[in-house]
C-alpha cells in the first residue's frame, strides 16, 4: 500500500479525495488542517483519519505529503515537510515568491527528496495524446500555439454559493488575491513545457480590470494576463488567462502542415483533433473535417466521473510521484520542472504594463510521454 498525508482540507481537498477513490492502492494515513472544524467535516465526509497537529504528519508514516494549503502558506508548510524528510506534492504555485521556490528546490535536492507542483493535467489522456500527435508530425513542424484559459466574469458569479462536496466554501478572497494567472496558467503551461521544453523568454502583460467589492485593486492580483512565450526549441506560444472573458479553454498548436487542438484543458479525456492544410489549385484550405487522434492505451488513466474542474483526476500527479519515488527516479513534475513552472508563472503574473521581456533563469530536461502509472514509455510504443 502506498501512503500519503494531506495538509489543508479546504475546497480543493475534496477534489483530491474524490480522485483518491480511483486509486484504491493509495492510503491516506493522516489529514491535518489548522482549522479544526474543517478538518473534522472533511474527515467525517470522506472517512479519512484526522490528526491534531502538523507534527503528527511530520513524524508520521506517509511517504508523500500533499500540501493543499492556501498559496501564501505553501512555502512554510513545504519547508517544514522537507526538513522532516517528507517528499512533497504541492498545489500551485510552489510558493508566492521565486526566491522561496529556489529555497524549496535546493532543500529537496540537498535532502535527496522530491518536491513537485500541481497541476497534473499534463499526465492526462488529452495532454499526452496532443503531445504524441505533435511528436508524430501530424501537423508538420510545430511553430505557434494559442492557448486560452478564460473563466468568465468570475467576480459577478454567485461565488458565495459555491461549495465543495463536504461543504467548504470556495475561497473567494484568496483566489482573487492570488490571481487567475498563478491559479490557472499551469493548466496549459505544463502541457507546453512537456511538449516544447523550457521557456527562454516571456514577453507578458497583466492587468487588474474588474471591480471587486470589498477588495482594493492593491489587494487583488491581475485578473488578466497575456504572455508570448519563446521556447528554447523555437516554438512560440501565446497564453492568455483571465477571469473576465467568456469561458474558453482551447489550445491550438499550429504547425506547417496543420493544426492540432483540444477544447477543454480541464477534461482529462478531451478529444484531440487535427486539421491538415491543403493547397488545391489556387486555394489554400484547412481541412473541413477534423480528424480525432486516437489515444494510445498507455495514456489512459482512472477517470473521475464529474464535470468542469471536478472532472480532472487530481491524483494523477501524486500517483506518478509515488511510482517515481519507488523506482528511484525523478517524478515528471518535480525538481527543475516545478521550479521552471513557478518562474514562468510568476513572471507572467507580475508583468504589469511595462516589464517587457523577461529572460528565464531556470531550465529543465523534458521527460518522455508518461504512462499514467508512471512507467517509462516512449513515443515508439504508441
Ligand X SMILES: NC(=O)c1ccc[n+]([C@@H]2O[C@H](COP(=O)([O-])OP(=O)(O)OC[C@H]3O[C@@H](n4cnc5c(N)ncnc54)[C@H](O)[C@@H]3O)[C@@H](O)[C@H]2O)c1
User: Which positions lie near ligand X, rule CB under 6 A?
Assistant: 7-13, 32-35, 38, 54, 68-71, 73, 77, 91-92, 168, 170-171, 174, 183, 309
The grid cell for 343 is 518562474
**Nearer Cβ to ligand X (7/113):** 7
Minimal distance, residue 9 CB to ligand X, in Å: 6
> What's the min distance (Å) between Cβ of 252 and ligand X?
24
Q: Is 221 helix (H, G, I), strand (E, B) or coil?
A: coil
Minimum gap (Å) between residue 83 Cβ and ligand X: 14
Grid coordinates standing for 131?
A: 503531445
CB 224 within 8 A of CB 209: yes
CB of 237 to ligand X, least distance (A): 22
What is the grid cell recorded at 237?
A: 506560444
Q: How far is the CB of 11 from ligand X (least distance, A)?
A: 3
Vertex 234: Cα angle to 233 and 235 (nearest 5): 100
Main-chain dihedrals φ then ψ at residue 274, nearest 5 degrees: -125, 130
User: For residues 11 and 224, which CB has a smaller minimum distance to ligand X in the complex?
Assistant: 11
Give the residue with the Cβ less far from ligand X, 9 or 225. 9
CA–CA dist 10, 319 (Å, integer): 21
42 sits in the region (left: phi over 0; alpha: psi -120 to 50; else beta) called: alpha
CA–CA distance, 251 with 192 (Å, rounded to integer)? 10
Compare residues 171 and 366 and give the one whose CB is closer to ligand X: 171
Quick one: 189 exposed, middle or buried, by C-beta within 10 A (0-12, 13-18, 19+)? buried
Instruction: Report in angstroms how near the CB of residue 62 gets to ligand X at its nearest.
Output: 15
Grid cell in block for residue 154: 468570475
Nearest to 249 by CA among 301, 190, 185, 311: 185
Shortest Cβ distance from residue 91 to ligand X (Å)? Answer: 3
Output 23 or 32, the one with its CB closest to ligand X.
32
Q: How far is Cα 346 from Cα 222, in angstroms, rounded to an integer?
A: 12
Beta carbon of residue 39, minimum distance to ligand X (angstroms, whole number): 8
Distance CA 57, CA 60 (A): 5
20/257 Cα distance (integer angstroms)? 41
> Among residues 91 and 343, whose Cβ is nearest to ligand X?
91
Specify the residue, 196 or 266, whose C-beta has the smaller distance to ligand X: 266
When CB distances to ligand X are compared, the closest residue is 10
Rounded Cα distance, 267 and 177, in Å: 26
Q: Which is nearer to ligand X, 6 or 195 (CB)?
A: 6
- Mapped onto helix, strand or coil, the DSSP state of residue 352 is coil
Amino acid at each position: 500500500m502506498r501512503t500519503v498525508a494531506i495538509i489543508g482540507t479546504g475546497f480543493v481537498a475534496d477534489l483530491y479525495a474524490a480522485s483518491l477513490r480511483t486509486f484504491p492502492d493509495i492510503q491516506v494515513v493522516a489529514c491535518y488542517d489548522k482549522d479544526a472544524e474543517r478538518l473534522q467535516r472533511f474527515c467525517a465526509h470522506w472517512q479519512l483519519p484526522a490528526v491534531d497537529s502538523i507534527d503528527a504528519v511530520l513524524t508520521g508514516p506517509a511517504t508523500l505529503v500533499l500540501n493543499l494549503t492556501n498559496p501564501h502558506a505553501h512555502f512554510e508548510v513545504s519547508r517544514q515537510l522537507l526538513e522532516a524528510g517528507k517528499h512533497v506534492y504541492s498545489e500551485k504555485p510552489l510558493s508566492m515568491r521565486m526566491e522561496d521556490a529556489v529555497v524549496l528546490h535546493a532543500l529537496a535536492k540537498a535532502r535527496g527528496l522530491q518536491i513537485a507542483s500541481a497541476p497534473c493535467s499534463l499526465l492526462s489522456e488529452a495532454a499526452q495524446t496532443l503531445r504524441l500527435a505533435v511528436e508524430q508530425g501530424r501537423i508538420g513542424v510545430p511553430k505557434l500555439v494559442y492557448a486560452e484559459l478564460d473563466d468568465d466574469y468570475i467576480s459577478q458569479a454567485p461565488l458565495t454559493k459555491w461549495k465543495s462536496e463536504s461543504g467548504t466554501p470556495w475561497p473567494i478572497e484568496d483566489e482573487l488575491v492570488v490571481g487567475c494567472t498563478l491559479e490557472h496558467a499551469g493548466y496549459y503551461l505544463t502541457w507546453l513545457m512537456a511538449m516544447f521544453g523550457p521557456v527562454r523568454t516571456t514577453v507578458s502583460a497583466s492587468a487588474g480590470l474588474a471591480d471587486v467589492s470589498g477588495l482594493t485593486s492593491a489587494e487583488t492580483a491581475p485578473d488578466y494576463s497575456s504572455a508570448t512565450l519563446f521556447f528554447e526549441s523555437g516554438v512560440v506560444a501565446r497564453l492568455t488567462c483571465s477571469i473576465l472573458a467568456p469561458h474558453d479553454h482551447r489550445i491550438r498548436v499550429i504547425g506547417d502542415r496543420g493544426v492540432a487542438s483540444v477544447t477543454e484543458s480541464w477534461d482529462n479525456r478531451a478529444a484531440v483533433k487535427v486539421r491538415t492544410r491543403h493547397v488545391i489549385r489556387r486555394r489554400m484550405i484547412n481541412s473541413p473535417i477534423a480528424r480525432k487522434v486516437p489515444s494510445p492505451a498507455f495514456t489512459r488513466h482512472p477517470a473521475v466521473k464529474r464535470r468542469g474542474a471536478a472532472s480532472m483526476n487530481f491524483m494523477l500527479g501524486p500517483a506518478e510521484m509515488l511510482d517515481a519515488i519507488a523506482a528511484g527516479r525523478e517524478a515528471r513534475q518535480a525538481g527543475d520542472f516545478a521550479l521552471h513552472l513557478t518562474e514562468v508563472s510568476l513572471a507572467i503574473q507580475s508583468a504589469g504594463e511595462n516589464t517587457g521581456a523577461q529572460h528565464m533563469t531556470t531550465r529543465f530536461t523534458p521527460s518522455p510521454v508518461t504512462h499514467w502509472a508512471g512507467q517509462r514509455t516512449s513515443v515508439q510504443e504508441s
